A = this chain, B = another copy of it.
Amino acid sequence: MTARPANAHQARLLRLLRDGGPTSRARLGDEVELSRSKLAVEVDRLLETGLVVADGLAASRGGRRSHNVRLSPGLRFLGIDIGATSVDVAVTGPELEILGHLNQPMDVREGPVAVFEQVLAMVAKLKHDGLAEGFDGAGIGVPGPVRFPEGVPVAPPIMPGWDGFPVREALSQELGCPVLVDNDVNLMALGEQQAGVARSVRDFFCVKIGTGIGCGIVVGGEVHRGTTGSAGDIGHIQAEPEGRPCACGNRGCLEAYFGGAALARDAEAAARDGSSPELAARLAVAGRLSGPDVAAAAAAGDAAALGLIRDGGTRTGQVIAGLVSFFNPGLVVIGGGVTGLGHTLLASIRTQVYRQSLPLATGNLPLVLGELGQLAGVTGATRLISDHLFSPA
């Protein structure tokens, strides 16, 4: 895609078509507050660029039938979501509908060269399946803070070898298209805003509980990245003064109590000290434990496993309660791998938030699981790059 919208009106029209699909000129006119003649000029210019194509006649609204237009069906966006232990790659069409998706285990600690080799092989596979010949743009999420304008990870604690690596530039060269890089949690929030539970919500945050715990913040419809790109890094907020030692060197951090890493540690301890027969049996077979083991043990009625989930939810709820009082969001979304723990976890988080935050802030506050699961990040990634491309050049 070489064409870009020439002005804010065209950008608005492109986003409307992305989010609403084929639309009549008449309806577009209702949305953008342009005169009929000015609208026609802008739509015609977009048709000339090839970004937009005619799509037949719309249903009658009385009087002459209006012509439908839509985004070029040939537009292709690529979404990449690098987690700590797995990677998702997806190809979308112009309306960010997912045409194909791959998920593979991966270790982010292997560094950017090895990870990109794997990612590019996954991309080649999706291309080979006939989903795309090339891409108009790509978005990529990484599990750490990012200097957003440059697309470079900054001092990411769980990503040794990535500090300062020019992710945006390197990937843009490999893919031959514009690329934007963001923190994975911001992309999860954007994904839920684009196609999930946060549609039409302007102020919300999205807590991702994976190996670690992070938070994507949306203010007035836009991601808030903070002054140095580290906004939402809530895993090291203190949950307990002088509490458990944390890998970061402080004490009492939320991640010292919960998240995939803490949960695995506590589950293995419960297996070994005899408090959980279910977890002990699983540990004997697998040699190690992780979130899904705890979920399965809890589902089998194991009290120790249920206790781990409840305690983790309470700690997470404590921290979220403070953030709700501070930020007064319209919605809180919980997502990430640990949401496999399901409604026991959600119930503990909710109990703590509703008990501890100000009633005025929680009166109408939905606190829900994300809807998009594994696809939230890649959806957010394509939303991010399409927002960029559908902005005035």
Q: Which residues of A are interface residues toward B (Cβ below 8 A)?
A: 145, 154-155, 203, 215, 217, 219-220, 222, 224-234, 236-241, 250, 318-319, 321-323, 325-330, 355-361, 363-365
Asked if residues A327 and B238 are in contact (CB atoms below 8 Å), the reply is: no
Asked if residues B228 and A364 are in contact (CB atoms below 8 Å), the reply is: yes
Asked if residues A230 and B360 are in contact (CB atoms below 8 Å), the reply is: yes
Asked if residues A318 and B241 are in contact (CB atoms below 8 Å), the reply is: yes
One of B234, B240, B326, B357 near A217 (C-beta < 8 A): B326
Asked if residues B318 and A154 are in contact (CB atoms below 8 Å), the reply is: no
Asked if residues B356 and A227 are in contact (CB atoms below 8 Å), the reply is: no
Asked if residues A233 and B318 are in contact (CB atoms below 8 Å), the reply is: no
Closest residue of B by beta carbon distance from A225: B328
Asked if residues B361 and A327 are in contact (CB atoms below 8 Å), the reply is: no
> Complex formed: what's the CA distance from A360 to B226 in Å?
11
Q: How far is the CB of A234 from chain B (nearest CB, A)?
A: 6
Which residues of chain B have C-beta atoms less than 8 A from A229's C-beta?
328, 360
> Given that A231-B326, A327-B226, A328-B233 are known contacts, is A238 also in contact with B360, CB under 8 Å in the complex?
no
Asked if residues A203 and B227 are in contact (CB atoms below 8 Å), the reply is: yes
> Given that A238-B321, A322-B322 are known contacts, is A226 also in contact with B356, CB under 8 Å in the complex?
no
A-B contact pairs, 7 of them (CB 8 A): A154-B360, A225-B328, A227-B365, A230-B328, A234-B326, A236-B358, A237-B325
Which residues of chain B have C-beta atoms less than 8 A from A220's C-beta?
219-220, 222
Asked if residues A360 and B325 are in contact (CB atoms below 8 Å), the reply is: no
Q: How far is the CB of A277 from chain B (nearest CB, A)?
A: 30
One of B224, B325, B330 near A327 (C-beta < 8 A): B224
Which residues of chain B have C-beta atoms less than 8 A from A363's C-beta?
228
> Given that A238-B322, A318-B241 are known contacts, is A329 also in contact with B226, CB under 8 Å in the complex?
yes
Which residues of chain B have C-beta atoms less than 8 A from A319's C-beta?
322
> Complex formed: what's the CA distance from A234 to B328 in Å?
10
> Given that A224-B219, A241-B240, A318-B238 are known contacts, is A358 also in contact with B230, CB under 8 Å in the complex?
yes
Which residues of chain B have C-beta atoms less than 8 A from A326's C-beta?
215, 217, 231-234, 237, 323, 326-327
Asked if residues A361 and B328 are in contact (CB atoms below 8 Å), the reply is: no
Closest residue of B by beta carbon distance from A222: B220
> Complex formed: what's the CA distance from A145 to B360 in Å?
9
Q: How far is the CB of A189 from chain B (nearest CB, A)?
A: 13
Which residues of chain B have C-beta atoms less than 8 A from A234's C-beta?
322, 325-326
One of B203, B227, B241, B327 near A328 (C-beta < 8 A): B227
Q: How far is the CB of A366 from chain B (nearest CB, A)?
A: 11
Which residues of chain B have C-beta atoms less than 8 A from A227's C-beta?
203, 328-330, 361, 364-365
Which residues of chain B have C-beta atoms less than 8 A from A203's C-beta?
224, 226-227
Q: How far is the CB of A240 from chain B (nearest CB, A)?
A: 6
Which residues of chain B have C-beta atoms less than 8 A from A155's C-beta?
359-360
> Complex formed: what's the CA distance from A365 to B358 in Å?
28
Q: How far is the CB of A332 from chain B (nearest CB, A)?
A: 11
Which residues of chain B have C-beta atoms less than 8 A from A230's C-beta?
325, 328, 358, 360-361
> Complex formed: what's the CA distance from A255 to B237 in Å?
19
Closest residue of B by beta carbon distance from A355: B250
Which residues of chain B have C-beta atoms less than 8 A from A233's C-beta?
325-326, 328, 358, 360-361
Closest residue of B by beta carbon distance from A234: B326
Closest residue of B by beta carbon distance from A323: B326
Which residues of chain B have C-beta atoms less than 8 A from A231's C-beta?
326-328, 361
Asked if residues A361 and B219 are in contact (CB atoms below 8 Å), the reply is: no
Q: How far is the CB of A380 from chain B (nearest CB, A)?
A: 19
